[in-house]
Amino acid sequence: MLEWVEKYRPKTLKEVAGHNEIKEKLKKWIEDHIKGKNPKPIILVGNPGCGKTTLAHALANDYGFDVIELNASDKRNRAAIRHIVGTAASSKSLTGKNILIILDEVDGISGTEDSGGVSEILKVIKEAKNPIILTANDIYKPTLKPLRDVCEVINVPNVHTNTILAVLKRIAEKEGLDVDEKTLKIIAKHSGGDLRAAINDLEALALGGEISPEIASKLPDRDTERTIFDAMRIIFKTTHYDIATLALMNCNEDLQTVEEWLAENIPNEYKKLEDIERAYDYLSKADIFLGRVYKRQYFGLWKFASALMTAGVALAKDEKYRGFTKYSYPSVLNLLTKTKAKREVLKKILKKIGEKTHASSKRAREDLELLKAIIENNIEMGADLVRYFGITKEELENIVDKKLVSEIFKIIEKKKKEEQKEKKEKKIKEKIVEEKEKKEKIEEKVEEKIIQKEKEETKEIKVEETKEQKEEVKEEKKSKKTKKSEKKEEKAKQLTLDAFFK
């Protein structure tokens, strides 16, 4: 049985709901190609499930083109892409039809570990004679600038709620579902513009046998990130090790929660007893590893736990089970609202960790597991990390035992107080030193002034002294002179006396 999203995927542009302007642009673009004008390749940019891939296929179908579609971010496709460019020089397929090349998810190649990817795509664009449509969720990463420069970027907006409602109504009618408009509206609104998600939700509810507004309002959060449902689908449907291990990449659940989900859903997906037995066997091994991560701080084991859970369960089956499986929440439905709130909080925590460690959300999830293990084994260190990441008490209560949380925040408060005290003391000390230095400087200045004054005084005294000395000398000279003249006078007197008595 085909999934509804595939069953109801529009085949022609007319069937694609909304996006009227974009359809016109695309038509003109491909007509220009047919006329040999060779316009720039187009990048369709938009959130998941808004219809990018659908638009490209519908366009090809309307104009009788064959499609070659490749996931651009998958390295294994590089050779294939090059090969196509090499052989498609005639720009016609084996059937003689024109070929439209669709390179999906080009934003997936922006990682630093794959910097060659972009230049390879650029080469393809330069050499290919065929029309090319690229798709991406986010094209505004700096590494993708060269692609933006050589392509025409067309933004595909989220699908309007009313448009989604119309599509859901049509599907419900065709499937003969007994569902009221209110329920469909809830599903449409809840999808946040992601038509794929809306159709998937409707299918899940239909398979569950009960479609009511109450159940619809409890649907899991469908934001633009992959949810645990998608992770389940990947793990259960793939038989590839690589794909399975990447299933949790964008899923904001901790490993224990994923384990619960897998445990609940293994018998929903797998039907052969041997498959079920093997899957549970891997899951129990994963559980042992996970336990050791927490109990003994063997952080390296986290990877094994994760691999056993994803790839172990995926490879437990002999072959893929076709058809749609409704994955259910661990235990009861009322867990839904609880886990939704918890997921929101978890997302916030992961964001905080990611911001500090500059890591991807996958890495942040690993870090979170480590943080939990550290908290259980070394609470002081755990408290330091919680504080470093800026995780609040309320947030932490969602992932760690409440008792531990209050202990952690006691430690944090204590440390904060100690630090404040230290800060204060440091400030006081600094002030004392400052004052001391000031005082010393003033003293120095005073001393300098005293010395200067003394110098000036001695100078003055000296001047005075020399003056006095000079005066004294003068005086002496004067007295000498007078004495001399007195003597002279006396002598003269004597002489006159002598002369008189003679």
In the chain, the amino acid numbered 341 is A
CA distances from 18 to 12, 22, 59, 301 (A): 13, 9, 14, 49
Answer yes or no: is 251 a known binding residue. no
Answer yes or no: is 130 a known binding residue. no
95, 19, 96: which is closest to 59 by C-alpha? 19
Residue 106 binding ligand ATP, by CB under 6 A: no
Q: What is the Cα 14 distance to its own chain's centre?
A: 38
Least distance between ligand ATP and beta carbon 135 (Å): 6
Window 185 to 214, contacts with ligand ATP (CB under 6 A)? 195-196, 199
Answer yes or no: is 382 a known binding residue. no
Answer yes or no: is 245 a known binding residue. no
Q: What is the Cα 337 distance to its own chain's centre?
A: 26
Of 41, 51, 117, 192, the residue at the interface with ligand ATP (CB under 6 A) is: 51
Least distance between ligand ATP and beta carbon 5 (Å): 4
Q: Do β-strands 132-136 and 152-155 pair in parallel, antiparallel, or remain unpaired?
A: unpaired
Furthest-apart CA atoms within the chain: distance in Å: 181
Of 22, 26, 30, 50, the residue at the interface with ligand ATP (CB under 6 A) is: 50
Least distance between Mg ion and beta carbon 274 (Å): 36
Residue 16 binding ligand ATP, by CB under 6 A: yes
Answer yes or no: is 47 a known binding residue. yes
Window 107 to 166, contacts with ligand ATP (CB under 6 A)? 135, 137, 159
Rama region for 257: left / alpha / beta (φ>0; ψ in -120 to 50; rest): alpha
* Residues 144 and 107: beta-carbon distance below 8 Å: yes
98 forms bridges with which residues in the sheet?
Answer: 92
154 forms bridges with which residues in the sheet?
Answer: 44
Answer yes or no: is 502 a known binding residue. no
52 or 343: CB nearest Mg ion: 52
* Residues 144 and 114: beta-carbon distance below 8 Å: no
Of 13, 22, 53, 386, the residue at the interface with ligand ATP (CB under 6 A) is: 53
Window contacting Mg ion (CB under 5 A); options: 45-53, 160-168, 441-449, 483-491: 45-53
If contact means CB under 5 to 8 A according to the sort of partner, which of ligand ATP, Mg ion, none does residue 137 touch? ligand ATP
Q: H or E segment at 181?
A: helix 181-190
Token representation of residue 115: 């910097």
Taking residue 156's Cβ as centre, other Cβ atoms within 10 Å add up to 18
Least distance between ligand ATP and beta carbon 44 (Å): 8
Least distance between ligand ATP and beta carbon 328 (Å): 23
Least distance between Mg ion and beta carbon 136 (Å): 9
Size of site (CB under 5 A) for Mg ion: 2
- Measured distance CA(468)–CA(471) in Å, rounded: 5
Taking residue 103's Cβ as centre, other Cβ atoms within 10 Å add up to 26
Of 9, 53, 314, 399, the residue at the interface with Mg ion (CB under 5 A) is: 53
- When CB distances to ligand ATP are compared, the closest residue is 51
Per CB under 6 A, residues contacting ligand ATP are 5-6, 8-10, 16-19, 46, 48-54, 135, 137, 159, 167, 195-196, 199
Per CB under 5 A, residues contacting Mg ion are 52-53
